[in-house]
Amino acid sequence: MIIGGAEIPRGLMMKRTKVSITNEKRTRDYVPESSISFSDEDAEGIIQPHNDAFVISVLINKSQVKRILIDPGRSANIIHWKVVEQLRLLDQIVSAARVLNGFNMAYETTKGEITLPVNIAGTVRQMKFYDIEEETRYNAFLGRPWVHDMREVPSTLHQMLKFPTPEGVKIVHGEQPVAREMFTVKEVALRPKALPLRAVGESFKGKDAK
């Protein structure tokens, strides 16, 4: 289960936030020994303060799939069954049942798994996804397997992720308006529908007539 929304925290914001991660050793030949950092300039154009999820669009099997959540807290990449159906790749799903547990001990059993090419900023990786049928706000989740394979560093505060490539560090921006709209629509849908006054009056009138 994922908790999030458009709640705006109160309090003073720090004027400068910087996160830096340095690769001291080479685990692959193409990974440069350099640092990836975020500064105030990276947050320009982002509505602050915010508590929004990091949502992006990604090319999967050469088709653009929207509403994908970057979630380093997940131990698996997950894709919705309807997305695989729309990609016309249901015949490539390998039957494999796996129980995915949430923080509240709720669980979901996968229908199978499928390996798909994921293209982000021109960098393609073959990634394994677990297929689910449960309704979610997101079409897919990219978890730690993808984050670690790409060696990417996400920042929800800056709505941005960066990762090293032979050509240098590439940047992908999050879609903050999409993330906010998803939760706004959900909140509106949960509100009870009010009956017209005439209909309410008629119901009482009919009851008294019996």
153 in a structural domain: yes
In a domain, 31, yes or no: no
Tens digit of pLDDT for each residue in 43-69?
888 988 988 999 999 999 999 999 999
Establish if 4 belongs to a structural domain.
Answer: no
Average of per-residue pLDDT across 140-158 = 93
With CA atoms as reference, report the closest residue to 100 among 66, 129, 139, 69.
129
Pick the more confident residue, 84 or 3: 84
pLDDT band at 185 (very low <50, low <70, confident <90, very high): low
Q: What is the β-pairing status of strands 112-120 and 123-132?
A: antiparallel
Please tell me the total count of domains within the chain.
Answer: 1
Residue 29 in domain:
no
In a domain, 134, yes or no: yes
**What span, in angstroms and rounded, lies between the C-alpha atoms of 80 and 190?**
23
In a domain, 113, yes or no: yes
**62 within some domain:** yes
Tens-digit pLDDT profile for residues 84-142: 999 999 999 998 777 766 555 566 778 889 999 999 999 999 999 999 888 888 999 99
Residues 6+ apart with CB under 8 A from 165: 30, 123
- Looking up residue 107, the CATH number of its domain turns out to be 2.40.70.10
Q: How do 140-142 and 63-70 pair as beta strands?
A: parallel
Q: Mean pLDDT over residues 18-25, rounded?
A: 42
CB proximity list for 138: less than 8 A, separation 6 or greater: 55, 67, 68, 69, 80
Q: Does residue 91 fall inside a structural domain?
A: yes
Nearest to residue 13, comparing CAs of 36, 40, 37, 38? 40
Burial class of 51 by CB neighbour count within 10 A (0 to 12, 13 to 18, 19+): middle
* Domain enclosing residue 131, as ranges: 44-209
